[in-house]
Amino acid sequence: MRCSRGARVAKPVAETLAVVNCSQLVTLAGAHRPRTGGDLRQLAIIEDGAMLVREDRIEAVGWRREIETLIDADCELIDAGRRVVMPGFVDAHTHPVFAGIRANEFEQRTAGATYREIAAGGGGIRATVRATRNASQGDLVKAGKRYAEWFLRNGTTTIEAKSGYGLTIEDELKILRAIKQLNQETSLKYVPTFLGAHDIPSEYQSRRQMYVNLVINDMLPRVAEEKLAEYCDVFCEQDVFTTDEAWQILSAARCHGLGLRIHADQLSLSGGAKLAAELNAATADHLEHADATGIAALKSARVQPVLLPGSVYALGSNHYPAAREMIDAGLAVVLATDFNPGSSPTPSIPMTLSLACTQMKMSPAEAIAAATINAAYSLGRGDEIGSLEKGKRADFVIHDASDYRELAYFFGIEHPWRVYAAGNLAYARDQSGE
């Protein structure tokens, strides 16, 4: 039997891999639908489980003894060393393509300035728009590759990726093309979202409707024609886009075949959750200020809430979204990082799990389901990723932990020991196998 022990980044790709010696194989197998209520806590863990992978697909998942009978001579054995193995995280809300950083604003907030005040003074999203307009696609890809590595080393294998720092046709297309290039040239998978309505650019300040028309009549047709996005998002908020403007843009996006996501009720109760329900959006994101009526509307329309506690934390607020009320109302909650250079400069889902548990009182199991299988469903990929089940893409992580709860419990460290994307080693903490 020719079995290679331990993984190597530069290994020749074996056709089959067997992952053995897991302390917990956290499969998240279950009903083929987003998880709600008590199902959110069912991680379908196999103690001493094993998994067989053929090329980029999961071939079998089960008890070590069962899987061992399927291992043939050409199979590469991956010894998990009594560690936890689980699906790669799916981060369903990120802004990962931008130029420059905003550490200066971070410092201003430590001195008491608010996110809104900084934005009103020409900083915030507009500061990143200025830098991004001056960057080439190559510059954006170069920066994006650095962030892609951060996602992978924190155990994330798929991200939703928004444009939104261009706000002209050519600059929005440039960002979406950079996302496409990153998808082709990194091990991370990107699901692109057009966010031309992230802010009103300063040159349209006194002509808002003209900018809305530009998004609808010029940007959306180009984005759809070049097939550069699967979703369209709008930042629906006081001083940004009104619910009426968001309705116009999202209705047009739907006519182009795009799915809908909304930045809703983040800084104030702006009506975004109700709008998401009215439009049957896939998701309503943020929801820090959503009220009971908004939550009920999301439930009746089966909209998935995407909660982003990293942005609450990084803005120094304590106004976290009401995750428990949403779970009690039967919503299929998703957790994501909101990675961006302003409100949430973290690519770490484990940090997000920690915040969800300590600040929003989600259990570790609920948080993990929200950042894997539920996130996958929110991106229309519930039958492809988000759990370890036969036929799914072999995106999995061996975490340096023996109990899945450690992912939310130990915070501020990088848990992954090995990360596999589509059956290939995408990140290894070290090369020694230790």
What residues make contact with ligand NIG under the rule CB under 6 A?
Answer: 95, 124-125, 128, 235, 263, 266, 311, 338, 340-344
Long-range contacts (CB closer than 8 Å, 24 or more residues apart) made by 210-214: 212/241, 212/245, 212/248, 212/249, 214/169
- By C-beta, is 20 or 298 nearer to ligand NIG? 298
* Sole binder of Fe ion in the list 338, 366, 389, 395 (CB under 5 A): 338
- By C-beta, is 230 or 338 nearer to Fe ion? 338
How many residues of this chain bind Fe ion (CB under 5 A)?
A: 1
Under 8 Å between Cβ of 190 and 141: no
CB 192: neighbour CB atoms within 10 A?
Answer: 25
- Residue 279 CA to residue 275 CA, distance in Å, equals 6
Q: How far is the CB of 195 from Fe ion (least distance, A)?
A: 8
Partner whose footprint covers residue 128, from Fe ion, ligand NIG, none (CB < 5 to 8 Å by kind)? ligand NIG
* Listed ranges 114-122, 125-133, 210-218, 330-338: which one lies at the site for Fe ion (CB under 5 A): 330-338
Partner whose footprint covers residue 341, from ligand NIG, Fe ion, none (CB < 5 to 8 Å by kind)? ligand NIG
Partner whose footprint covers residue 124, from Fe ion, ligand NIG, none (CB < 5 to 8 Å by kind)? ligand NIG
Q: How far is the CB of 354 from Fe ion (least distance, A)?
A: 20
Under 8 Å between Cβ of 320 and 312: yes
- By C-beta, is 24 or 344 nearer to ligand NIG? 344
Partner whose footprint covers residue 304, from ligand NIG, Fe ion, none (CB < 5 to 8 Å by kind)? none
Under 8 Å between Cβ of 202 and 126: yes
**Among 191, 238, 241, residue whose Cα is nearest residue 216:** 241
- By C-beta, is 261 or 399 nearer to Fe ion? 261
What does the block give as tokens for 400? 């340096």
* 87 sits in which H/E element: strand 76-87
- By C-beta, is 160 or 230 nearer to ligand NIG? 160
Partner whose footprint covers residue 266, from Fe ion, ligand NIG, none (CB < 5 to 8 Å by kind)? ligand NIG
Q: How far is the CB of 25 from ligand NIG (least distance, A)?
A: 34
- Residue 167 CA to residue 431 CA, distance in Å, equals 43
Under 8 Å between Cβ of 133 and 166: yes
Partner whose footprint covers residue 157, from Fe ion, ligand NIG, none (CB < 5 to 8 Å by kind)? none
CB 294: neighbour CB atoms within 10 A?
Answer: 26
CB 280: neighbour CB atoms within 10 A?
Answer: 12
What does the block give as tokens for 244? 């009426």
- By C-beta, is 91 or 338 nearer to ligand NIG? 338
Residues at the contact surface with Fe ion, assessed by CB under 5 A: 338
